[in-house]
Amino acid sequence: MNEVLSGNLIIIGGGEDKEGKKEILSRVCTSIDKDKDILLIATIATEYPKEAAIKYKRAFGELKVKNIRVLDINDRTESFNEENVELIKNSSLIFFTGGDQLRITSLIGGSPVYTALKQACSDGIFIVGTSAGASVMSDTMIVQGIDEESPRKCTLKMAPGLGFIKNVMIDQHFAQRGRIGRLLTGIAENPEVLGIGIDENTAIIVNKIGEIEVIGEGAVYFIDGSKITYTNVSELYGDQILSMHNVKLHILTDGNKFNLVKKSPFEEDKVSNEDSTGKNI
């Protein structure tokens, strides 16, 4: 099978603790040298970049990160700015805040900034995303769907994401917003991809060889539709309830592991302490 990933990712389901113990953000910081490395906060998804930057600069500052920069792109022309490209090249960790995932793809897609991000990911730089910043990690992302309802045919809006992780579809704020129905719809329409639903204050750490570790207080839901034997997906009667047969569901919590290549959980004493570039995770 082809390589699942092109880099190291930490994908957060949103609502991570930024004022208390900050367990997830603290784990994020372990992937860099807090005294020397640059942590770059990308506020591209939000219409309130200054407020988001202040909030995360405070949180990471309290975690003793000394070199914090902000990538603030509110106009597509800024994605062609060489200073922004250099900012990405000089950073050791890039953190995408929440907001609107379509803002990210529409503002940077196909630009020099996007090329620099893809190269950083390929080089093993840690890319982190929360909420909308989580959904945009995959090559196909959920843009809009119905929360807290049974899955319905053709009620989901999807678009290409940034493609940092392959062959998966990510949804966030998962249990809190009742999103299992819309993720099931996405998998029914794209059974070749793996659905990953991440609760708030919960994250997955993904290394280059496709091993996942779950961290945080909630759960992560892995929906495998590759063995589906029947669905009634159709453009006709799009408001009908979706029917699906032989869908596999795994629910993992803090410390559990999952292999993306095999699409199955696994048990080890611990996930490998190094990714394939030799970086600690």
- Residues that are catalytic: 131, 173, 200
Token pair, residue 12, equals: 């957060």
- Cα separations in angstroms, 54 against 43, 57, 70, 164: 11, 5, 10, 26
Distance of CA 31 to the CA centre of its chain: 17
Half-sphere exposure of residue 46: CA atoms within 13 angstroms, side-chain side: 23
Token pair for 34: 């807090």
Count how many Cα atoms sit within 13 Å of the Cα of residue 69 in the half-sphere of its side chain: 18
Residue type, 131: S
Query: Which residues lie closer than 8 Å to 22 by C-beta, 6 or more apart?
Result: 16, 59, 62, 63
Q: Identify which of 178, 155, 176, 158 has the alpha carbon closest to the alpha carbon of residue 105.
A: 158
Amino acid at 70: V
Task: Give the amino acid at 171.
Answer: D
Pair of tokens at residue 219:
């759960």
